[in-house]
């Protein structure tokens, strides 16, 4: 089934398209210039995740900690969320989405939970994902905001803010420690054990992208490079130099455990700066 059209959200300067499907921020532009990357090959059918924008990975990341969970990155990104609020604020328009066990019964079987997602579209893009345990037993989950950033040429960007952080290199399977800025010179798929602030300097587009996260123990950096890009049907063979995923999450050893009545919020702020 083809998806319903996205909602157009924003202000004079800032405009975004958001699908109720996956509560997926598909595009965001500031002063008419796109900030998020989207694939020209993305599929817009229920049951398939969109390629680009900000997919929500929940309640597991990738194949999960067991390595056996499917679909990849959980259910949230392929489920229809309910729009629970739309508010015009001084410098931003804010959407609030909710997802519950009715909409995603397979997410956390037997548990009672609610996920609330706030999308604020203004001079910055601000996202906040809150998971509540509304049941009587504790449960744990992984979560990530899998943001695709548009860059001029990924081979020329520098990513600051991860110096000294340990990471799992999912390409080699090895654990490493980052020395200096991250640069992209081959397929890159790394789970850093650090949240907080990361700045992407992009000389080709002449801008910096500042990512500020809260409630995230991990920063994930991904670019598929040529071979992996060619192997993905919903990703153009030549599109990989123009994108970089800087994701915020709590994954693997940093999965979240929530006691009854508890909640956890993951925040992701994205700002554009002149470089
Ligand atoms: O976040 C990086 C990653 O986990 C990579 O391993 C790669 O698989 C990417 O996500 C895309 O996953 P997807 O399921 O959307 O194809």
Is the pLDDT at 210 greater than 90? The verdict is: yes
Burial class (CB in 10 A: 0-12, 13-18, 19+), 137: exposed
> Could you confirm whether 146 is annotated as catalytic?
yes
- Please tell me whether the overall predicted TM-score, pTM, comes out greater than 0.85 for this model: yes
The finding on whether 189 has its CB within 6 A of some atom of ligand 1 is: yes
pLDDT digits (tens, 9 = 90+) for 71-104: 999 999 999 999 999 999 989 999 999 999 999 8
**Mean pLDDT across 185-197:** 98
Residue 172 · residue 212 · CB < 8 Å = no
pLDDT digits (tens, 9 = 90+) for 215-266: 999 999 999 999 999 999 999 999 999 999 999 999 999 999 999 999 999 9
> Could you confirm whether 175 is annotated as catalytic?
no
Residue 78 · residue 56 · CB < 8 Å = no
Cα atoms in the 13 Å half-sphere on the side-chain side of 269:
12
Helix (H, G, I), strand (E, B) or coil at 107: coil
Centre of ligand 1 to C-alpha 259, Å, is: 29
> Which residue owns the Cα nearest ligand 1 atom 10?
62
**Mean pLDDT across 162-181:** 98
**Mean pLDDT across 162-185:** 98
How far is it, in rounded angstroms, from Cα 57 to Cα 38?
A: 17
pLDDT digits (tens, 9 = 90+) for 146-166: 999 999 999 999 999 999 999
> Which residue owns the Cα nearest ligand 1 atom 4?
62
Q: Which atom in ligand 1 lies closest to the alpha carbon of residue 170?
A: 6
DSSP bridge pairs for 8: 17
Q: Which atom in ligand 1 lies closest to the alpha carbon of residue 232?
A: 16
Confidence of residue 106 (pLDDT cuts 50, 70, 90): confident
* Catalytic member of 24, 73, 126, 146: 146
Residue 204 · residue 239 · CB < 8 Å = no
pLDDT for 111 equals 84
β-strands 139-141, 207-214: how paired?
unpaired
pLDDT for 110 equals 78
């Amino acid at each position: 089934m083809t998806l319903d059209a996205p909602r157009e959200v924003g202000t004079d300067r800032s405009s975004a398209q958001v699908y109720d499907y996956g509560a997926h921020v598909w595009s965001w532009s500031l002063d008419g210039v796109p900030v998020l990357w989207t694939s020209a090959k993305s599929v817009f059918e229920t049951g398939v995740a969109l390629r680009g924008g900000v997919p929500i990975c929940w309640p597991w990341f990738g194949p999960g900690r067991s390595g056996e969970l499917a679909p990849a990155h959980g259910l949230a990104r392929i489920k229809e969320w309910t729009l629970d609020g739309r508010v015009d604020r001084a410098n931003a328009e804010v959407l609030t989405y909710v997802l519950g066990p009715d909409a995603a019964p397979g997410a956390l079987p037997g548990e009672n939970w609610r996920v609330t997602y706030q999308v604020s579209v203004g001079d910055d893009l601000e996202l906040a994902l809150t998971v509540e345990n509304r049941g009587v037993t504790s449960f744990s989950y992984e979560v990530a905001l899998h943001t695709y950033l548009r860059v001029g040429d990924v081979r020329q960007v520098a990513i600051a803010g991860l110096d000294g952080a340990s990471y799992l290199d999912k390409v080699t399977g090895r654990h490493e420690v980052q020395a200096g800025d991250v640069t992209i010179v081959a397929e890159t798929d790394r789970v850093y054990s650090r949240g907080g602030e990361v700045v992407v300097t992009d000389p080709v587009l002449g801008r910096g992208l500042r990512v500020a996260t809260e409630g995230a123990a991990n920063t994930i950096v991904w670019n598929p490079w040529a071979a992996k890009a060619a192997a993905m049907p919903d990703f153009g063979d030549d599109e990989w130099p123009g994108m970089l995923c800087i994701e915020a999450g709590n994954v693997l050893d940093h999965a979240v455990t929530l006691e009854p009545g508890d909640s956890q919020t993951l925040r992701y702020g994205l700002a554009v700066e002149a470089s």
